[in-house]
Amino acid sequence: MKLNRVIITLIPFIWSVGMVPFVNKSKPIIMGLPFLAFWEVAGIFVAFACIGALYHLDQQDKKK
């Protein structure tokens, strides 16, 4: 179970820092934003989902 938490914690970091060199090469405009800006805004929602998943896992541990 601890490995799941580490993976969930790393997802936003990899999204924001690790993938930037790869998505920075794209030039499309999505919803009026350059793709890199759209990627970072989407990363906020990914981080929110990961924090929610971690919260849910912690609540399950408290019940035990």
Over the stretch 15-32, which tens digit does the pLDDT of each residue have?
Answer: 999 988 888 887 899 999
pTM of the complete model? 0.82
pLDDT at 34 over 80: yes
Please give the structure tokens belonging to residue 26: 């794209």
Q: Torsion angle, CA of 19/25/30/32, rounded to 10 degrees?
A: 110
Domain ranges, residue 12: 2-63
Provide the pLDDT for residue 1: 67
Q: Count the domains in the chain.
A: 1
Provide the pLDDT for residue 52: 96
